[in-house]
């Protein structure tokens, strides 16, 4: 179980964990194509997500040179627009920046703020630097520091992305807690020696039976309660 006395820095995944990525993309698609019915919107959302996942995987496997999410999202938007018959250049350009306007989950802003009063808190995202800046402002997420995987030219779960967070934290990996709604993300962090906490969201990647994380929580309120239940003086003395 997570004990605050064992933690010096908390690192949060952002997409899916603190913001509703599918919901934000779905809203952007409906804005761009108002006549979309529910079935068509889900089809276009799946097309977008599958394209992004495939391209990031190609980069991870060395089949494509690294490009940021700004590039991949632009490609996804044009692919979706072509499939839907959307030809307005301004609408397509706005759709390409949908990742900057994702809504936070109901507990994200308050939960993050509360934890940031107790710990140094980092965001760690595959989103590009520019997208991350705009997304944080849109969603009202306030960090001590937000880190983009663009800095290491890779995408999670590449080891270098988690090492970037560990190096920024400036403490041993076993004193850094990675929080995410994606089990694959936590496995990547765990492989680098970080502690791990799974937070359940309506979207994400639930843990498998074989996963052993330091904590599993229904939301940020549960996580905050666990991390602030004991005084941190002992941890701060390390």
pLDDT, one tens digit per residue, over 69-125 is 999 999 999 999 999 999 999 999 999 999 999 999 999 999 999 999 999 999 999
Residue 231 has pLDDT above 60, yes or no: no
Q: Where in the chain is the domain with CATH 1.10.150?
A: 21-100
pLDDT score, position 230: 57
pLDDT score, position 232: 47
pLDDT, one tens digit per residue, over 151-200 is 999 999 999 999 999 999 999 999 999 999 999 999 999 999 999 999 99
Residue 31 has pLDDT above 80, yes or no: yes
- The Cα angle at residue 98 between residues 28 and 157, in degrees rounded to 5: 125
pLDDT score, position 61: 97
What is the DSSP annotation of the chain?
Answer: ---GGG-SEEEE--BTTTB-HHHHHHHHHHHH-TT--HHHHHHHHHHHHHHHHHHHHHHHTTSS----HHHHHHHHHHHHHHHHT---HHHHHHHHTGGGSPPBPTTHHHHHHHHHTTS-EEEEESS-HHHHHHHHHHHT---SEEEEGGGGT--TTSHHHHHHHHHHHTS-GGGEEEEESBHHHHHHHHHTT-EEEEE--SSSBPPPTT---SEEESSHHHHHHHHHSS-SHHHHT-
Residue percentage of the chain with pLDDT more than 90: 92
pLDDT band at 204 (very low <50, low <70, confident <90, very high): confident
The topology (CATH level 3) of 4-20+102-236 is: Rossmann fold (3.40.50)
Closest CA to 112 of 216, 11, 234: 11
pLDDT score, position 235: 36
Q: Where in the chain is the domain with CATH 3.40.50.1000?
A: 4-20+102-236
Prediction pTM value: 0.93
The topology (CATH level 3) of 21-100 is: DNA polymerase; domain 1 (1.10.150)
């Amino acid at each position: 179980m997570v004990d605050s006395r064992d933690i010096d820095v908390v690192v949060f995944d952002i997409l899916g964990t603190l913001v509703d990525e599918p919901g934000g993309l779905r809203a952007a698609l409906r804005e761009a194509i108002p006549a979309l019915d529910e079935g068509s919107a889900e089809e276009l959302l799946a097309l977008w997500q599958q394209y992004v996942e495939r391209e990031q995987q190609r980069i991870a496997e060395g089949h494509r040179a690294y490009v940021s999410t700004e590039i991949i999202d632009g490609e996804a938007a044009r692919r979706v627009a072509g499939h839907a018959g959307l030809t307005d250049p301004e609408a397509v350009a706005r759709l390409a920046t949908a990742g900057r306007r994702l809504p936070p989950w109901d507990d994200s802003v308050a939960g993050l703020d509360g934890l940031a009063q107790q710990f140094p808190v980092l965001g760690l995202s595959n989103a590009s630097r520019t997208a991350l800046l705009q997304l944080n402002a849109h969603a009202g997420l306030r960090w001590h520091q937000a880190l983009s995987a663009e800095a290491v030219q890779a995408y999670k779960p590449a080891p270098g992305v988690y090492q970037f967070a560990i190096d920024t934290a400036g403490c041993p990996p076993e004193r850094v807690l990675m929080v995410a709604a994606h089990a694959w993300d936590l496995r990547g962090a765990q492989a680098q020696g970080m502690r791990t906490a799974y937070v359940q969201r309506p979207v994400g990647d639930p843990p498998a039976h074989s996963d052993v994380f330091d904590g599993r929580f229904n939301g940020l309120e549960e996580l905050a309660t666990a991390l602030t239940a004991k005084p941190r003086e002992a941890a701060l003395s390390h």
